[in-house]
Amino acid sequence: MGVDTLAEYRDLLNLALGDKGQTNERLDRWINAAIEELFVMLDIEGRRVCAQTPTIAGQERYLLPPNCVATLVLSDITSKKRMTKVAIENYEKLDPTRTGRPKQYARVDRHLYFYPIPDAEYLIHMFYVKAPTQLSLPSDVSELTSAYDRVIHLLATRNGMLDLGMDEKATTRYQTAINQLRMIPTEEWLESQNVAERGIEIARSESDIRNR
């Protein structure tokens, strides 16, 4: 969990923006948008989850889980094959009357469109990035560790600067945020350090497994 509270983020953001008297509603929007952006950018354990949904014969459109901010991988469990994502402009060029086992999908807002249109019930497995819990109370803190508090502040400031027409300063603040983010150890790096200390090797492919 983070250390900085929403109230502290608001104060820092107002200070960075020159105390322009922004409302809490607007400040909160910039702050929560920054946290959601980090959730999408980072490969953090527990942030990527999965869900399963059965298709319905003749139904092309399916609603995404309410906490989904980014889809990662869709697979047809029945055939054990990964589905291919296509841009909506290319999806619309496909034969709208074709039915069968879905092999492709497109995302539009909060919906997924499957192609071909399912002709039976198929079990679709979806991996996606889970949305963070919105900060709303002054005492709320981010679900991310405190190491990301500084980055959240920088990204929130960038968001505010963009909305206020301070584009050049926003670009500089974003680059500072990315540089700060690069300094935070990733889970993969921490895991590799722990493994080295224990003298344990991790099999990361089928060939690694066969050679052990």
What is the pLDDT tens value at each position of the chain, 212 positions in all? 889 999 999 999 999 998 766 899 999 999 999 998 888 787 655 567 888 989 999 999 999 988 887 888 999 988 889 999 999 999 999 999 999 999 999 999 899 999 999 999 999 999 888 888 899 999 999 988 899 999 999 999 999 999 999 999 999 999 999 999 888 876 554 455 544 444 444 444 444 434 44
Beta-carbon contacts of residue 187 (< 8 Å; ≥ 6 apart): 43, 44, 45
**pLDDT value at position 188?**
52
- Measured between alpha carbons, how far is 137 from 14 in angstroms, rounded to an integer? 17
Is the sign of the CA dihedral 74, 79, 80, 82 positive or negative?
negative
- Measured between alpha carbons, how far is 141 from 149 in angstroms, rounded to an integer? 9
In contact, 85 and 107? CB cutoff 8 Å: yes
**Neighbour tally for 209: CB within 10 Å:** 9
In contact, 189 and 43? CB cutoff 8 Å: no
List alpha helices for the chain, DSSP H. Answer: 6-16, 24-41, 88-91, 149-163, 167-182, 187-198, 206-210
pTM score of the predicted model:
0.63
Beta-carbon contacts of residue 57 (< 8 Å; ≥ 6 apart): 118, 119, 120, 121
CA distances from 196 to 178, 189, 191, 206, 210 (A): 28, 11, 9, 21, 21
